[in-house]
A and B are shown apart, each in its own frame.
Chain A
Amino acid sequence: MSASKQPLIRLQDVKKVFFTDEVETHALAGTHLDIANGEYVSITGPSGCGKSTLLSILGLLDSPTEGKYWLNGKLVSDLSLSERALIRNREVGFIFQSFNLIGDLTIYENVELPLTYRGLSSADRKTRVTDALEKVNMAHRAKHLPSQLSGGQQQRVAVARAVAGQPLILLADEPTGNLDSKNGEAVMDLLRELHRGGATICMVTHDPRYATFADRAIYLFDGRVVKEEMVSFKQDEEGASLVGTQAEVV
């Protein structure tokens, strides 16, 4: 599979079954998904539909029970823990709902953390961390601790941490879930800016308003993709109105 012809992400008939005692839970029941380089995809659906499981598999935090997963043309569904950690570190950027900043580390150190695991030199790390913090407008809080920031600011730092490593894809799990609407929209604006800058983004959200920020909205139900919509029109610059979508039933 050559990278130029293939999508950045390809899932082929991916299934995920959780076994608890005698109960089998089919979180994903044969999911097919392609995400192209530079695309901004949102995944929505009701609670328990498998959104987060899908995102975990995309982020190599979990592996599928069945099916195949190619990332940037490489089959990654059967990698060892250590290989998965390596790919997570280099090619995936995570943005979590609850920010997941480390309380003992400063903002600078939090953003620097994934670069440390990559073994970059101190100078390289400094350049990247500074760039990332400037991108989210948080460079002036570099020496603060997460507990000294508001929720919105913490999420911007989490975004900076995700992009500092210049990953192939940004995976955002309910990035506005713990924020008020004003801060939520600010974070969505930030993601849109990153996308405009060329970032590939896959975002899980239950909020239909934010789903339309993406190029494509994917609807999951009972572990299957049941609908995909190409979003033709977006909010205006002020985020005032939703002007139209184009739907495709799968």
Chain B
Amino acid sequence: MGTLWQDLRYGARMLGKTPGFTVVAVAVLALGIGANTTIFSLINGMLLRPLVGVESPERLAAVYTSDFSSGLYGTSSYPDYISFRDGAHAFEGLAAYQNTTVSLTESDEPERLRGASVTGNYFKVLGVGVSAGRTLLPEDEVAAGGDPVIVISHNLWQRRFNSEPAIVNRTISLDGRAHTVVGVVAESFRGLHIGSSPEFWQPMPPPPNNPSARGNRSLTLVGRLKGGATIEEANAQLTAIAARLAQDYPETNRGTLARPDEPRPITVARQTRLGHKQRKTIIGVSGMLMLMVGLVLLIACANVANLLLARASVRRREIAIRLALGSGRLRLIQQLLTESMCLAILGGLLGLLLTLWTSDFLPKFFPSEEASGLDLSVDWRVLGFTLGLSLLTGIVFGLAPALQASRQNLLSALKDDTGAPEVHGFGRFGMRNALVVLQVALSLILLICAGLFMRSLRAASTADPGFNAENVLLMRMEARGVKMKREEEEIFYRGVQEQVGALPGVRSVALAYIVPISGGGMRTNVYVEGYQPKPNEDTELNTNIVSPNYFKTIGIPLVQGRDFGAADTANAPGVVIINEEFARRYFPGASPVGKRLRSDSEGPYLEVVGVVKDAKYRALREEPLPFFYTPLAQGSREALTLFVRTDGDPSAVLPSVRAELKSLNKNLTLFQVNTFSAHLADALSSDTMIAVLLSVFGVAALLLAAVGLYGVMSYAVARRTHEIGVRMALGAQTGDIIKLVLWQGMILLLVGCVVGLSAAFALTRLMSSLLYGVGATDPLTFVGITLLLAGVATLACYIPARRATRVDPMVALRYE
């Protein structure tokens, strides 16, 4: 301990004696460690942080029912939930919830609130506390049909009710109906998922007991495992129950048309802050980002190791004296490593400050709703990671120089023997050169990855989505309170289209249930007349409900048949419009117009009346999907989005559109107001974040590699001053000296590029699934980035080369 303290003091003194070296080394390390800590804090915030505001979060488990079409993580029906709750003994309790929205109609301007309908045991299962009043209870479910009660979030209590203690038992108006607030949930609880912080919870009334209720799967389940019970046990119990249900209720609990004999698989997994589907994507992306920042740190380590090697040559005599005085090699390595650790810890501290700054900045990449509940603050995990990484970094960059410094020729070092002709490393491939090659190779890999992502982002943002998002205003609207009859709805929506369409600056207006590129969509089983599905064929297809003029408004060309019209009412024969991919798959070589399909095996046939061009529906990166549209009047929904195509800036018409809608229905709640272009940009936000982060890391790596190369070349020139003097005395011209120095740098660059390109070829293939519109070995990116690196590296070599030409042979040869 005494020697460690001595080493620390001496190390601090040595670092203080060379402030320039210390500042550069700490800055380089801070960049490397800071980048890693930043990405780790992102991973921590999304994947590692436990749920807050709940009791023993490690015992909470999510229960999924597969719907065969979208992986394992599907929702469940209420009757299935009851069967699971009563039959699975591994759980202490099992609750169900479903996201919902209401309009807070307390003032003239209704506010749309996001919340959840939950079973009465929801808060008990989660173990959530309250700030005031009580949480919901099972008996509230029964009362839901009568005098409705509600629990609100701490945030809503503060924001809308000024934290009034009298909120408990107060009646508030939701969707025009009185609700009694029975409690305020504890501030720490912000829901179960990042991106959905509910502002209220209302009891879920049991659905009417009819046979089709089991097929209506819209509930998410969360359970608390009994002490000692495992996920596997719970999974086995629920799978057994699912098999039994498949036997008892084959109509609803067996597979789809393609898998008629299989029960729907059940998956029990730890309850996490991200849905398991998202989690898989995030793990892939964050793994890739961690790898990239790991490369940045390696480059930083190589850089600092090179600085230490240069410094060791300056301290050659001091180290020799220590060895001569009897210091053991291990003792000396300990001393040198302590100095490295001091540097690494300082770098780590500075890196942590960088992370604190980015924790405010990173969430801005996410659309505001998705970032809700995302906590990137520094906690013990981030601190532990930074400390561990700093110590590891200290060893990585400090060990090799320490080993080399302690292995020197004592006699020569003590005599400071510089008379003999020295071999300076131009002819041999020393450690310093190897480190520069490593830096060049690693930064090339990073830059290529960044380049590919930039090109991918560009391809995604410039790809033709199949519609024209320019000058389109989006506005989601819900008519709450007084439930309109079907005919009233038709009149209301027709009025919206006519009156908003007549506003100045508005070119056309349409309504649709789903906005394209929202990440999700609506799927339904489709039975095409005369078509026999192949084994395992997915017969669930994506669909949307749209008004007349939808295609014209968002710019999807109609290629065959007709658009929906006023005649396509609820009582008229059912009709659909399909896309070209649908036509290709189900009606190859035939005209689709006049063909028939149905979405329910027993339901009426719907006639295809038109064919439109393919477009992107769920995501910009998707492959062409078979898609069909049904008319609004034949499939109306409560919440619809208004699409307004304008002559100019869509936001200019927003006030007049709002006023027009209010004049049609004062109970209308308007939300998610956006331009279609901004909506598309939001859809690319995570791609943008990856591309920006990788570019920042790539540029950092490029700068670090350039600094490394510059440092090595400067060091080489300094070491070769004498030789350069001799060469100049022998008649070397400026060009000869520049060529000499550049050539050395170019060899390092060339070897680094060969190593880097080979590694990049192998590595980029692993991330091909994350790219869009660009190959993992895109030649343009590989060549362009290599040329960029070569250009910067050449400049980094040229500066010391120019300096070499200013060597005074007189001084170099030590004349008088």
Chain B hits for A113, CB < 8 A: 727, 730
A88-B730, A89-B731, A118-B731 given; 8 more Cβ-contact pairs under 8 Å: A51-B816, A62-B815, A89-B730, A102-B727, A117-B731, A145-B421, A147-B421, A173-B815
Range for the number of chain A residues in contact with chain B? 35 or more
Query: Which stretch from B33-41, B130-138, B423-431 is at the chain A interface?
Result: B423-431
Closest approach, in angstroms, between the C-beta of A35 and any C-beta of chain B? 19
| 5 residue pairs A–B, Cβ–Cβ below 8 Å | A52-B815, A85-B731, A86-B731, A86-B733, A104-B427
Residue A161, interface by CB 8 Å: yes
**In the complex the two chains form, what is the Cα distance from A147 to B427 in whole Å?**
14
- Contact check: which of B420, B427, B731 meets A114 at CB < 8 Å? B731
Chain A hits for B728, CB < 8 A: 85
* Given contact pairs A61-B810, A102-B726, A103-B423, A82 touches B816 in the complex (Cβ within 8 A): no
B809:A117 contact, CB within 8 angstroms: no
Chain B hits for A99, CB < 8 A: 421
**In the complex the two chains form, what is the Cα distance from A53 to B90 in whole Å?**
96
1/0 per residue, CB under 8 A from B, across A102-116: the answer is: 111100000001100
Output the residue of A50, A56, A173 with the most chain B CB within 10 A: A56
A94 closest partner in B (C-beta): B729
B729:A88 contact, CB within 8 angstroms: yes
Main secondary structure of the interface of B (DSSP, over half): loop
B810:A56 contact, CB within 8 angstroms: yes
**In the complex the two chains form, what is the Cα distance from A56 to B423 in whole Å?**
27
- Contact check: which of B419, B722, B732, B815 meets A61 at CB < 8 Å? B815
Chain A hits for B726, CB < 8 A: 96, 100, 102
Chain B hits for A62, CB < 8 A: 810, 815
1/0 per residue, CB under 8 A from B, across A51-90: the answer is: 1110010010110000000000000000001100110111
B726 closest partner in A (C-beta): A100
Chain A hits for B813, CB < 8 A: 61, 96, 100
Residue A48, interface by CB 8 Å: yes
Closest approach, in angstroms, between the C-beta of B741 and any C-beta of chain A? 14
A85:B815 contact, CB within 8 angstroms: no
Residue A146, interface by CB 8 Å: yes
**In the complex the two chains form, what is the Cα distance from A96 to B729 in whole Å?**
10
Chain B hits for A104, CB < 8 A: 423-424, 426-427
Chain A hits for B810, CB < 8 A: 56, 61-62
A56:B420 contact, CB within 8 angstroms: no
Which residues of B from 389 to 427 have beta carbons under 8 Å from A? 419-424, 426-427
- Contact check: which of B427, B731, B736 meets A90 at CB < 8 Å? B731
B805 closest partner in A (C-beta): A81
B723:A117 contact, CB within 8 angstroms: no
A146:B421 contact, CB within 8 angstroms: yes
B731:A88 contact, CB within 8 angstroms: yes
Residue B734, interface by CB 8 Å: yes
Chain A hits for B723, CB < 8 A: 102-103
A48 closest partner in B (C-beta): B816
**In the complex the two chains form, what is the Cα distance from A231 to B813 in whole Å?**
31
Chain B hits for A173, CB < 8 A: 815
A52:B816 contact, CB within 8 angstroms: yes
Closest approach, in angstroms, between the C-beta of A82 and any C-beta of chain B? 6
Closest approach, in angstroms, between the C-beta of B445 and any C-beta of chain A? 31
Which residues of B from 801 to 816 have beta carbons under 8 Å from A? 809-810, 813, 815-816
Q: Which 5 A-B pairs have the closest CB atoms?
A: A89-B731, A103-B421, A104-B427, A146-B421, A114-B730
**In the complex the two chains form, what is the Cα distance from A132 to B729 in whole Å?**
19
B422:A117 contact, CB within 8 angstroms: no
- Contact check: which of B421, B722, B733 meets A85 at CB < 8 Å? B733
Residue A199, interface by CB 8 Å: no
B424:A117 contact, CB within 8 angstroms: no
Chain B hits for A114, CB < 8 A: 730-731
Residue A12, interface by CB 8 Å: no
1/0 per residue, CB under 8 A from B, across A19-58: the answer is: 0000000010000000000000000000010111100100
Chain B hits for A82, CB < 8 A: 733-734
Chain A hits for B426, CB < 8 A: 104
* Given contact pairs A52-B816, A56-B810, A147-B423, A117 touches B736 in the complex (Cβ within 8 A): yes
**In the complex the two chains form, what is the Cα distance from A113 to B726 in whole Å?**
10
Closest approach, in angstroms, between the C-beta of B489 and any C-beta of chain A? 88
A85:B732 contact, CB within 8 angstroms: yes
Chain A hits for B730, CB < 8 A: 88-89, 94, 113-114, 117, 161
1/0 per residue, CB under 8 A from A, across B124-146: the answer is: 00000000000000000000000
Residue A200, interface by CB 8 Å: no
B736 closest partner in A (C-beta): A117
